[in-house]
Structure 1
């Protein structure tokens, strides 16, 4: 169920990738790069509103907030199908993202309510495995729908998926917020929760590192349709190659769920990030020497291991950011989600909009963001990477920064 809640977000992004060209033609969008705003508008709404849902869920519980967001998501999905102009479509996409934000915050909060440490990372990895399957299925589902209809029917399909998840969660998801953990909805308590999140070095550092590495993913998603269809001229079949990369990402996430309890979150994610930066540099050097592009087999052959490494980064970084903040899980989830998704979405939009018919802007973004992310987590770890630490260490640091004695 957690995976399906998270999958709503991926479905609302990836299923529209093959429809961007048709949406642009139907709604008279002149610039090809502006078609990417269909993706960006959703991500901005999704990222910006998370900061509200966590605070509300810590006060009123996980269920009421979840169903409020799901209602917005379903209504906006159906309304977007009737959008008469591109601007109206973007507005409904933003609202759709606002509703979907509740699913992300509540999903992470529910997992943190029930688990901690490596077990939390393992559970999140299993959820992410299903979540990662959506980028495999969604673009092909979108392409299939367009074979018999148009982008209108894609919005209807997304709305029906949201309705299905709403009914399932209504009957099967219990309230996981313990009564003693409910926080009064006052400015003082809310500000205190935000202060705990922002002053914890580990949480803050990994949040920045995650936002930067998410910028890599969103940048690739924004450019994917143009790269596959304009650089490599693959036509509608490009969704199969896009899905191939996603399959290996899902496999890496599954492997992470098995390996994290043996090797630890830090060694796995730190090594993967360094490897990601190295592969990005290699691809940029080859592309520059090749005139800005790569032969397609080489492009795909290097992109697959690059995004396999991504499967060991995102989940672990998010778990490391959340782990010391279990006592304010809802607010923590919303603040981290706000910074990670909004920051990553805007950065990814910048990378996507820089598309110039070559692979250079994409690879340049990969290199810059991965190196900045490495810097952020190095600071978070006090300059020492690959250490295995017990969750108590991070909670003790959190108590120290909040002005309370460490246990």
Structure 2
């Protein structure tokens, strides 16, 4: 689809409301992760978890369920439409959130968190599919940046909400709040969100058709390359989230006030996503994201060297600004990489969103879990992981396009053309 006017492509829903609703659906995923960060220690204590690094599994279990289930919901949404799949996923999310308030053991909690992630997978697949149903090219990247701005704002609010709930209750009440939030978003989507899948784009739910759609996604060089690049860079984000509570409370001794510092980083990351929405239509997805990725890599290497020279950690007054800059750069990478991966696949948007989402979230969750497991009281392992993942992401982006900053010309018949929509 071309870079269409939003009012012509949102099926009668006002542009601002569509963007806000999609952002709220994406926010359900962020809320289910970030609101529990200040509660990890209490969850571990209440459920008898002796290994502090194992508390991170509360986040990892959700991410693995969230990543894996997207493979299911994409083909289903291409066959039955976006609305029924979204509402089914929201129902799973809500029920597991409320049931989790009664868990008797850590193992049961992890199982419910994985199932909650499965329900949340539908919201992610449908959110991205709806945006791709309605927009293409730079317009899609601009819309996704606005969506991601709200998505990135959740880490500003959620940890502080979680900390506030625990001042007057326990971590179990946090699940109730998450469930109520999902109920509100579900009612809004049921009442206002139209079906955006065009009848001509519906695909039969047969093994042959599903295999064909998956083949299209996995054999498209640009889509596959940027999908792997995104999963690597999301490993950076999830690795930091997994360790954030330990780094701020143990390495830097901030105690319960760490959520305020964590929120500061998220504020600037959200602002970077908003700035990306303003700049991407002028400069293009590739130039912005590739420049930001190289800057991210350079800053991670510099920070790692300084931390090592200082015995494992930089001072808090140095750590916070540098990490904030790093994640501002992330705001220019993740959204644009995701849009670059989705742009050539509009005719199989649901399946494409599921395959890309699975690889990005499941892969990013695994990378983040591995990175989190190396926490040893210092920040050096984290920064080494940042540098390794950013390097591999740069290689994948280069292989996807043939070069950095712009896609090489490609031959279509006897004519040399340039992919202007994606530039």
Query: Does the CA contact (< 8 Å) of 1:142 and 1:154 recur in 2?
Result: yes
Query: Does the CA contact (< 8 Å) of 1:267 and 1:388 recur in 2?
Result: no
Gaps of 5+ in 1: 398-407
Written as runs of structure 1 = structure 2, the 5 A alignment for 1:265-276 is 265-276=285-296
Written as runs of structure 1 = structure 2, the 5 A alignment for 1:187-206 is 187-206=207-226
Cα distance in 2 for residues equivalent to 1:222 and 1:81: 22
Cα distance in 1 for residues equivalent to 2:248 and 2:139: 38
What displacement does 1:388 show?
A: 6.1
Instruction: Give the corresponding residue for 1:79.
Output: 99
What displacement does 1:353 show?
A: 1.1
Query: Does the CA contact (< 8 Å) of 1:211 and 1:344 recur in 2?
Result: yes
Cα distance in 2 for residues equivalent to 1:144 and 1:113: 39
What displacement does 1:151 show?
A: 0.3
Cα distance in 1 for residues equivalent to 2:408 and 2:104: 54
For the structure 1 residues 80 and 148, does the alpha-carbon distance in structure 2 shift closer, same or farther, using more than 3 Å as the test?
same
Instruction: Give the corresponding residue for 1:310.
Output: 330
Cα distance in 1 for residues equivalent to 2:63 and 2:211: 25
Q: Could you state the TM-score of these two structures normalised by the residue count of structure 2?
A: 0.92
Instruction: Give the corresponding residue for 1:121.
Output: 141
Q: Is 1:232 the equivalent of 2:233?
A: no
Instruction: Give the corresponding residue for 2:177.
Output: 157
What displacement does 1:389 show?
A: 7.9
Gaps of 5+ in 2: 1-20, 414-423
Q: Could you state the TM-score of these two structures normalised by the residue count of structure 1?
A: 0.95
Instruction: Give the corresponding residue for 1:262.
Output: 282
DSSP-derived class of the 2:332 partner: coil
Query: Does the CA contact (< 8 Å) of 1:207 and 1:321 recur in 2?
Result: yes
Instruction: Give the corresponding residue for 1:405.
Output: none
What displacement does 1:16 show?
A: 0.1
Considering only aligned residues, what root-mean-square deviation do their CA atoms show, in Å? 1.2
Instruction: Give the corresponding residue for 1:56.
Output: 76
| Match 2:405 to one of 356, 377, 386 | 386
Cα distance in 2 for residues equivalent to 1:347 and 1:264: 28
Query: Does the CA contact (< 8 Å) of 1:205 and 1:380 recur in 2?
Result: yes
Instruction: Give the corresponding residue for 2:120.
Output: 100
Written as runs of structure 1 = structure 2, the 5 A alignment for 1:138-157 is 138-157=158-177
Instruction: Give the corresponding residue for 1:330.
Output: 350
DSSP-derived class of the 1:266 partner: helix
Cα distance in 2 for residues equivalent to 1:133 and 1:294: 26
Instruction: Give the corresponding residue for 2:268.
Output: 248
Q: Is 1:131 the equivalent of 2:165?
A: no
Cα distance in 2 for residues equivalent to 1:151 and 1:389: 52
Cα distance in 1 for residues equivalent to 2:163 and 2:357: 30
